Amino acid sequence: MTLNVEIKPDSAKSTPRILSEFSRAMFSTGIVRHIKMKKRYFSRNMSPLHNKQDKLRKIARKAELEQDIKDGKVLLNARGRIIKR
């Protein structure tokens, strides 16, 4: 998202007037709202160790489910969904 906000100062405009025009232009383009939302819901990338642990947990859960299906503890319906006994 790249938007340019340009306010040209004149000799007749005072500094507070230029600042108020700039802030009004910033709010009207939506840049401020976009940046605030981006900062509010910022999430970090997961570390490689955390990714690895998650994958290992999923593999273990899948193996456990397959074993439960073989043992008859869990049934699958016609659509392949799990039905527990």
Question: What local confidence, expressed as pLDDT, does residue 50 receive?
Answer: 96
State the Cα–Cα distance between residues 47 and 42, nearest whole angstrom. Answer: 16
Q: For the full predicted model, state whether its pTM sits above 0.85.
A: no
Q: What is the mean pLDDT of residues 33-58?
A: 87
Buried b (16+ CB within 10 A) or exposed e, 56-69: eeeeeeeeeeeeee
Question: What local confidence, expressed as pLDDT, does residue 52 receive?
Answer: 97
